[in-house]
Amino acid sequence: MSSSKRPFIHPEGWRFAIIFFVISIFLGFVFTAISIIGYLLTIFTLWFFRDPERNTPYDPNSIISSADGKVCLIDESYPPKEVSMSQEKMKRICVFMNVFNVHINRSPVSGTVKAIVYKEGQFLNASLDKASEKNERSSLVISSANSGPEIVVVQIAGLIARRILGFVSSNDNLVQGERFGLIRFGSRVDIYMPLDAVTKCSVGDKVVAGESVLASFK
């Protein structure tokens, strides 16, 4: 089952684009050169909020990337305390998104949303390891289909990003590769999985949300 067809530009982007466009028009009456910058920002905003379709390799044994970007960290870590899971170490794969990446986030597995927990925090550079604990974040606990293991996906706000948006609620069913949220303007996504999951990527790899396989269940 593939994600339903949607507009190429996510609706969230139009509000910002309209604001930049209107400001550009007013600036054009005073400073033409500055108004050109405003029009460029309008175009960039629409491009930033692009929401392309993806070809998800549906596989119940695979854990798909939730974000476009670069794998910046692979380690063993405890899941966020606020999700109230057993505090045992899990494998963690982190994907950093810069402002040029698509910022729509997608489910790494098919399953049911067990919990969504938002936590206020700082806005440090999302590529830093301490951003996992210090920054604003939203954690999504997904119980994999067919009584599979739980996966935790954490959207982490970055130095520029200051708004995390979610598209789903607790008890919703997600299909692998389905959109569940976005983060504005540069950020990071951490995916926690069972410790024995087999890693299929390396630090520095460029990955695509809804398509790239990060790991597989053992």
Identify the CATH number of the domain in which residue 79 sits: 2.70.70
Residue 90 sits in the same domain as residue 196: yes
Residue 86 and residue 127 in contact, taking contact as beta carbons nearer than 8 Å: no
In a domain, 178, yes or no: yes
Q: What Å distances lie between residue 128 and 80, 98, 187, CA to CA? A: 16, 13, 11
Residues 6+ apart with CB under 8 A from 44: none
* pTM of the shown model: 0.83
Residue 43 and residue 24 in contact, taking contact as beta carbons nearer than 8 Å: no
In a domain, 1, yes or no: no
Residue 24 sits in the same domain as residue 74: no
Residue 89 sits in the same domain as residue 193: yes
Residue 126 sits in the same domain as residue 72: yes
In a domain, 87, yes or no: yes
Give the total number of structural domains in the chain. Answer: 2
Q: Which of 8-17, 61-70, 160-169, 205-214 has the lowest mean pLDDT?
A: 8-17
In a domain, 117, yes or no: yes
pLDDT in tens, 144-155: 988 789 999 999
Residue 98 sits in the same domain as residue 174: yes
Residue 16 sits in the same domain as residue 91: no
pLDDT in tens, 132-176: 777 889 999 999 988 789 999 999 987 665 678 889 999 999 999
**Angstrom distance (rounded) from CA 214 to CA 74:** 10
Residue 100 sits in the same domain as residue 185: yes
In a domain, 56, yes or no: no
The two three-digit tokens of residue 103, written as one number = 């910022």
**H helices present in 49-97, as ranges:** none
Residue 44 sits in the same domain as residue 103: no
Residue 110 sits in the same domain as residue 200: yes
In a domain, 41, yes or no: yes
Q: Of these residues, 62, 187, 202, 212, which one is catalytic?
A: 187
Query: Catalytic annotation on 187?
Result: yes
65 residue type, one letter: S
pLDDT in tens, 101-132: 988 999 999 999 999 999 987 777 666 777 77
127 residue type, one letter: S
In a domain, 164, yes or no: yes
In a domain, 54, yes or no: no
Quick one: pLDDT band at residue 186, thresholds 50, 70, 90?
low
Domain span holding position 156: 62-216
Residue 84 sits in the same domain as residue 114: yes
Q: What is the pLDDT of residue 165?
A: 84
Residue 19 sits in the same domain as residue 98: no
